[in-house]
Amino acid sequence: MRKSGIDLIGNVPWGTHFCQFYETKEDLIDILVPYFKAGLENNEFCMWVTSEPLGVEDARTALKIVLPDLDNYLDTGQIEIIPYNEWYTLNGIFDSDRVLNGWVQKLDNALKRGFDGLRLTGNTFWLEKEDWNDFVDYEAQVDSVLGNYKMIAMCTYCLDKCNANEIIDVVNNHEFALIKRSGKWSLVESSKRKKLSEELNFTWNKYDYLFNNMLDGYAHCEMIYDDNGNPIDFIYLNVNKAFEQLTGLKDVVGKKVSEVIPDINDSHPELFEIYSRVASTGKPERFEIEFKPLNIWLNIAVHQPKKNQFIAIFENITEIRKAEDKIKQSEARFQSVFNNSPIVIYRFNLQTGQYEYMSPAIRTLDFEPEELMAMNNEEVISRVHPEDRPALISVLSKINVTGKGESQYRFKGNNGKYQWWSNQMVIIYDSENKPLYRD
């Protein structure tokens, strides 16, 4: 945002293109003098293209009243005040492409000299009726491309020289117009601009609401590289409220991550590798990481909004990780109990017809757990003593209904001998109450 110098307007962004309808020389001075004073005081290169009723000398005199050191600005070349025939109508011809390219060249030179951008104005009093359509097309071009440059442009039109249709043309090609009503300056927006502005505001408000109320953290960052192109740091461009809530980090925008979290590059070099890779290639990635400086686990999705930048959207999965660790510890304890139990413990998958687990106690029958797990149900039942087999099959046929069962039978081991076994079985059901396992 730049200071316009005009109280009615306030601050404006680069790319602003507006106009003034005037009737007298004093009207021009009233607006243009504070307009250029603000530009000069804020390190902008300024160009004032004059025409009647306010010529070059009149413009200098008026500006010097509020800027006594104007000569210094003129001597250093921060402002140029020239007549229209040295800019718009060289050799008596108006060439819109030449004029438009001229503004861009002036901006390029200004940026190279260290100025922040270009502030300009051009008075159209010289414009004749036969040139009107060409100039309207030129203004439309200016309006369409100005948003891509660090420029602020104000065009001035003599109200007495414009008819109603021409006034509409002018307003439509500018964001807004300054016009004097009852002795006071007021703003007039074109209906097209106003509608677009309302639509943009509506879209922005929706985005802003989502951005600040989303549960996931958001960080928009830009990579910093050393002279050899290696990623060494990144700077926070924007973060949302959830970022601060999830990480506990405050006021990070504009700061390097090395300032916010010292030694992060040493503790998590893989972060820089991933962020740099996404920022350079544009290929999104997702990963989980134990972020040691903050003692939290994060699930991070990264994508590239533009070259050498990345956006990281993340959620804190610390509690999930803790729960998973507890489950793993619990499973490890149960596994230890199963593996060291003198009782044979198994799990049979009713869907696949295969054993999924067989405890080492099965070795009492000269079987290795893997041997029995490789057998299907029929092969296992075939090792049951023929006299005991019908009772076992009867129990197995009813167990899916009863949910549990018990059977005693003689089972032949690898040594060819039968041993008596008492088999207590229970059915494990899935979420839809369908039999899943027999334990």
Q: Where are the domains of the chain?
A: 2-200, 214-320, 341-438
pLDDT at residue 335, rounded to an integer: 63
Residues of the chain with pLDDT under 50: 196
pLDDT at residue 80, rounded to an integer: 92
Enter the pTM of the model.
0.48
Each residue's pLDDT tens digit, 22-56: 888 899 899 999 999 999 999 999 999 888 898 99
Residue 294's identity, in one-letter code, is L
Residue 74 Cα distances to 48, 55, 57, 82, 207, angstroms: 12, 16, 13, 12, 45
Residue 132 Cα distances to 18, 136, 161, 170, angstroms: 18, 6, 11, 11
Q: Residues 6 or more apart from 77 whose CB is under 8 A from it?
A: 113
Taking each continuous run of H as one helix and of E as one strand, the counts in the chain are: 15, 19
Distance between CA atoms of residues 373 and 356, nearest Å: 7
pLDDT at residue 167, rounded to an integer: 72
Same fold, 2-200 and 214-320: no
User: What percent of the chain shows pLDDT beyond 70?
Assistant: 85
pLDDT at residue 127, rounded to an integer: 67
3-state helix, strand, coil split of the chain in percent (to 5) is 45, 30, 25
Level-2 CATH architecture, domain 341-438: 2-Layer Sandwich (3.30)
* HEC letters along 48-88: EEEECCECHHHHHHHHHHHCCCHHHHHHHCCEEEEEHHHCC
Each residue's pLDDT tens digit, 89-99: 788 887 778 88
Pairing of strands 79-83, 217-225: unpaired
CA atoms within 13 A on the CB side of 264: 19
Residues 116 and 42: beta-carbon distance below 8 Å = yes
The domain defined by 2-200 carries CATH number 3.40.50.300: yes
pLDDT at residue 76, rounded to an integer: 92
pLDDT at residue 154, rounded to an integer: 87
CATH superfamily, with its number, for domain 214-320 = PAS domain (3.30.450.20)
Distance between CA atoms of residues 401 and 433, nearest Å: 11
